[in-house]
Structure 1
Amino acid sequence: MKKISSLISKYALICFFFVSCTHQNFQTQLIDIHQIDPSISLDVRYATEQNFTGKVLYKSSKVYLIKEVAEQLVKVNQYLKDNYKLQIKIYDGYRPLSVQKKMWEIIPDERYVANPSKGSRHNRGCAVDLTLIDSTGNELDMGTPYDDFTEKSHIDFKELPEHVLNNRKILREAMMKFGFIPLQTEWWHFDYKHWENYPVLDVEIK
Structure 2
Amino acid sequence: MKKILYYVVILPILFCSLMVVLSCKTETSKKEIPKENPSLQEVVLDSIMEPKVEKPVFKSLENVADTTFVRLADYSDGFAYDLRYATKNNFLKEKVYECGECYTRAKTVKALLKANEEFKKHGVKIKFYDCYRPNSVQYKMWKIVPNPQYVANPVKGSIHNKGGAVDITLVTLDGNEVKMPSDFDFFGKLAYHDNFDLPQEILDNRKLLKETMEKYGFWSTRTEWWHYNLQGASHDPIANFKWDCD
TM-score, with length taken from structure 2: 0.70
Partners of 1:159 and 1:180 lie apart in 2 by 25
Fraction of identical pairs, as percent: 39
Q: 2:163 aligns with which of 100, 125, 129?
A: 125
The residue aligned with 2:186 is: 148
For structure 2, the 5+ residue unaligned runs are 1-63
Partners of 2:120 and 2:66 lie apart in 1 by 31
- Cα RMSD over matched residues? 1.8
Q: Whose Rg is larger?
A: 2
Partners of 1:178 and 1:169 lie apart in 2 by 14
Q: 1:190 aligns with which of 228, 234, 238?
A: 228
Q: 1:60 aligns with which of 77, 99, 113?
A: 99
Partners of 1:51 and 1:91 lie apart in 2 by 10
Say whether the 8 Å CA contact 1:89–1:131 is kept in structure 2: yes
Say whether the 8 Å CA contact 1:183–1:189 is kept in structure 2: yes
Matched, 1:199 2:237: yes
Say whether the 8 Å CA contact 1:63–1:94 is kept in structure 2: yes
1:73-101 C-alpha deviation (Å, 9 max, x unpaired): 0111111102x111110111000111112
Matched, 1:70 2:146: no
For structure 1, the 5+ residue unaligned runs are 1-24
Partners of 2:148 and 2:213 lie apart in 1 by 23
- Cα distance change of structure 1 residues 36 and 174 upon mapping to structure 2, 3 Å threshold: same
Deviation at 1:54, TM superposition (A): 1.5
Say whether the 8 Å CA contact 2:134–2:241 is kept in structure 1: yes
Deviation at 1:26, TM superposition (A): 8.7
Q: Which amino acid aligns with 1:100?
A: Q
Partners of 1:49 and 1:27 lie apart in 2 by 32
Q: 2:84 aligns with which of 41, 45, 60?
A: 45
TM-score, with length taken from structure 1: 0.83
